[in-house]
Structure 1
Amino acid sequence: MTQRTVRIAVNGVTGRMGYRQHLVRSLLALRDQGGLDLGDGEVLFPEPVLVGRRAPALRAIAERHGIPHWTTDLDAVLADDGVEVYFDAQATSARVPALRRAIAAGKHVYTEKPTAPDLASALELARLADAAGIRHGVVQDKIFLPGLLKLKRLVDGGFFGDVLSVRGEFGYWVFEGDWQEAQRPSWNYRSEDGGGITLDMFPHWAYVLDDLFGRATSVYAHATTHVPQRWDERGKPYPATADDAVYAVFQLAGGAVAQINSSWAVRVMRDELVEFQVDGTHGSAVAGLRRCRAQHRSATPKPVWNPDLPAGASFRDQWQEIPDNQEYENGFKAQWELFLRHVARGTPYHWDLLAGARGVQLAELGLRSSTEGRRVEVPELAL
């Protein structure tokens, strides 16, 4: 076995997702397992270079994990020919200019979503990357999680027959920040800083629907701000100008209908923070991030609605647990491995910047639908 080191500039590592999911649970996990075996006698060893604006925080992370290289100078990193890959986990408002610079420097780019705050910028990034001849990818983590992988197994096996509908519930209560600290950064609730749950979550729903059930061809959405005032990281009150909930109906190619509610102002009465129920002519399933349960038509009970009597059955007990049948990696790490194989060997990879632009498109059209109070068509995108 020969070892090849790939140096990766990780920008935004002081944030929650950049640090926990991408650095610790993905790149450092790959390092700890001895690298990524490419299967042809070569092992790819990721070497992160930490990039950010706060030197003390970067230094602390570097020392905690034994990472020798960190900097606040993005231009210097991009000018370093030894750095092959640029990864972006910054706030949305800072992403486009950084990605432009990385593409211009000839780096392969991998980025969190949304790739941009608007469709025009997202498409520009995709065109620039293709013109530069670099490899590019967008984090689309949820389809790599155990619950949705089990759901895909059912889809691919023809379990549902004709899929009729998809119903999704996502969200949890994000504390306002006055009497309990908020779980999310304050910029998420300011539209002027790129915040808003539609822009945050519709890029997820775009690829989940597309990969599992069919492309969204239209959207009808209602976005709102339920909590108009929040408190920031310094304890100062500020007006919440971004939407914190959005309720949407999507028409899918093939005829199915998807209804997905997303909210940071809802309390959880589900088994997981996100759940999807899929109903088809031959069976139904409910999938979260880890679990998936199904009910085939041959095992479907015949309930009789009688409002004068209590329910005589436990409906949850009538569903069958879908077994793991395999060991599941962290979803972020699994996609990192696919992207690094794509960089090293050119293996097929379709979650690129154009796929990221489709997510931004759906968010932009969802917000337009909410503003105009009507259903909006979702045209197919091409460069």
Structure 2
Amino acid sequence: MRKIGIIMNGVTGRMGTNQHLGRSIAAIRQRGGLTLRDGSVVMPDPVLVGRNGAKLEELAKAWSVDRWSTDLDACLADPQNVIYFDAQSTLLRAASVRAALAAGKHVYCEKPLAGTLEDSLALAREAAKVGVKNGVVQDKLFLPGILKLKQVIASGFLGKVLSVRGEFGYWVFEGPMPPAQRPSWNYRKEDGGGIILDMFPHWQYVLENLFGRVTAVSCIGRTTIPERVDEVGKTYACTADDAAYATFEIEGGVVAHINSSWATRVNREDLLILQVDGTEGSAAVGLRECKVQSRVTTPKAVWNPDISNPIDFLAGWQTVPTTTTIDNAFKIQWEMFLRHVLEGAPFPHGFLEAAKGVQLAEVGLQSWAERRWVDVPALTAS
């Protein structure tokens, strides 16, 4: 068994702690490491990095991690650390990733890659110039529900896909009681917050990988809650969007409409639901489940508001069975990136793909500001 040093920067946050440290790296360690194609085993050896030493020490003890540090430069200078991972807030990420690239580290990070398309493309070019492996989290592609939907599409069950309708979100409490379940910086534009920058990178890679490239966007955003209470009980003004309503044109004629909101109450089966309608059938997918209805089992609906509807529409859908064991989405992608670094295995979620997500967010913000449709140019690193 050999070790691979991984600098994990920003893991004191919710996603960094739960998904990347606990359910990914710690889970791989608890399982005994990652077995490679040649039969050898590699054990992730993380060093937790951040600004709060007390929190880092507490996390290290909780997850049986030997190393933690508040000195990023020293960690980058240590040759035993091969990979740099970043889960900091958006505006802090680009500078740290740039430092990791200068140190010759392979880099894997949360999305969005940077706060602007310009910075994202610059990082993609720099990574290519240095010649290191690079990647970004695109976890929604590995959710059980999305994997089942991909299988349904590949089978031809839907026929020609016509449209996609998505509902995402939940009520984020304003505080102080109950306390907010998202960090306060998410609601301050000056700190890189906003649901468009947060969620449009997800919609970009989901739509492109399932249906095709997004070619145009019409978007309107809102800051629906003007004030919230932060982590120390202080009231602050919300300057970033917390809701967005967008329509996406996709190459081939598919139209997708997705509502994203942190100010909505859930009256559906999951926090994210996508309905895909095609000529031969439809699919409705959540985070874990996927339901389908074929053309031949589609009921004949007739508009008549004068009587109770005689059709139980929900009963006409069939659940796609779970036929394989599906692991945690973040852990799956971590293992893919480790194999990419150690074995040269394919990893299609590099910095250029990450830049596409930031591009879509910028186009969405432009559409909102100018109150019009905006085209999305095909993106290259040059």
Shorter-normalised TM-score: what interval?
A: over 0.9
Q: CA deviation at 1:39?
A: 2.2
- Is structure 2 residue 120 aligned with structure 1 residue 122? yes
Matches within 5 A, 1:142-157: 142-157=140-155
Partner of 1:131, secondary structure, is helix
Q: CA deviation at 1:34?
A: 1.1
Residue 253 of structure 2 aligns with which residue? Answer: 255
Residue 45 of structure 2 aligns with which residue? Answer: 47
Structure 1 segments of 4+ aligned residues over 6 angstroms from their partners:
none
Partner of 1:218, secondary structure, is strand
Q: C-alpha distance in 2, partners of 1:24/1:66?
A: 10
Q: Deviations over 1:91-137 (max 9, x none)?
A: 00110000000011000000000011110000001000000000000
Residue 188 of structure 2 aligns with which residue? Answer: 190
Q: CA deviation at 1:233?
A: 1.0
Residue 175 of structure 2 aligns with which residue? Answer: 177
Please point out which of 229, 244, 247 is paired with 1:231. 229
- Between the aligned residues of both structures, percent identity stands at 57
Residue 68 of structure 2 aligns with which residue? Answer: 70
- Is structure 2 residue 296 aligned with structure 1 residue 289? no
Q: C-alpha distance in 1, partners of 2:188/2:229?
A: 12
Please point out which of 332, 335, 353 is paired with 1:334. 332
Residue 29 of structure 1 aligns with which residue? Answer: 27
Q: Deviations over 1:14-40 (max 9, x none)?
A: 101000000010001111111111121
Please point out which of 350, 372, 376 is paired with 2:370. 372
Q: C-alpha distance in 1, partners of 2:362/2:2?
A: 41
Matches within 5 A, 1:350-361: 350-361=348-359
Matches within 5 A, 1:304-343: 304-343=302-341
Q: CA deviation at 1:178?
A: 3.2
Residue 263 of structure 2 aligns with which residue? Answer: 265
Q: Deviations over 1:332-375 (max 9, x none)?
A: 00011111100001111110000000000000010000000000
Partner of 2:367, secondary structure, is helix
Q: C-alpha distance in 2, partners of 1:200/1:322?
A: 30
- Is structure 2 residue 54 aligned with structure 1 residue 85? no
For structure 1, which segment, 69-78 or 4-13, has the greater mean C-alpha deviation from structure 2 after superposition? 4-13
Partner of 2:84, secondary structure, is strand
Q: CA deviation at 1:297?
A: 0.6
- Is structure 2 residue 223 aligned with structure 1 residue 218? no
Residue 158 of structure 2 aligns with which residue? Answer: 160
Amino acid at match of 2:376: V
Residue 344 of structure 2 aligns with which residue? Answer: 346
Amino acid at match of 1:220: S
| TM-align CA RMSD | 0.7
Amino acid at match of 1:278: V
Q: C-alpha distance in 2, partners of 1:256/1:66?
A: 48
Q: CA deviation at 1:156?
A: 1.1
Residue 139 of structure 2 aligns with which residue? Answer: 141
Residue 379 of structure 2 aligns with which residue? Answer: 381
User: Aligned residues, how many?
Assistant: 381
Q: C-alpha distance in 2, partners of 1:316/1:35?
A: 44
- Is structure 2 residue 297 aligned with structure 1 residue 299? yes
Q: CA deviation at 1:306?
A: 1.2
Amino acid at match of 1:335: Q
- Is structure 2 residue 93 aligned with structure 1 residue 95? yes
Please point out which of 278, 289, 307 is paired with 2:276. 278
Given the two structures, how large is their TM-score scaled by the length of structure 2?
0.99
Gaps of 5+ in 1: none
Amino acid at match of 2:189: S
Q: C-alpha distance in 2, partners of 1:17/1:65?
A: 15
Q: C-alpha distance in 2, partners of 1:35/1:265?
A: 41
Partner of 1:299, secondary structure, is coil
For structure 1, which segment, 311-320 or 111-120, has the greater mean C-alpha deviation from structure 2 after superposition? 311-320
Partner of 2:12, secondary structure, is coil
Amino acid at match of 2:338: L
Q: C-alpha distance in 2, partners of 1:310/1:116?
A: 52
For structure 1, which segment, 168-177 or 39-48, has the greater mean C-alpha deviation from structure 2 after superposition? 39-48
Amino acid at match of 1:354: L
Q: C-alpha distance in 1, partners of 2:96/2:155?
A: 42
Gaps of 5+ in 2: none
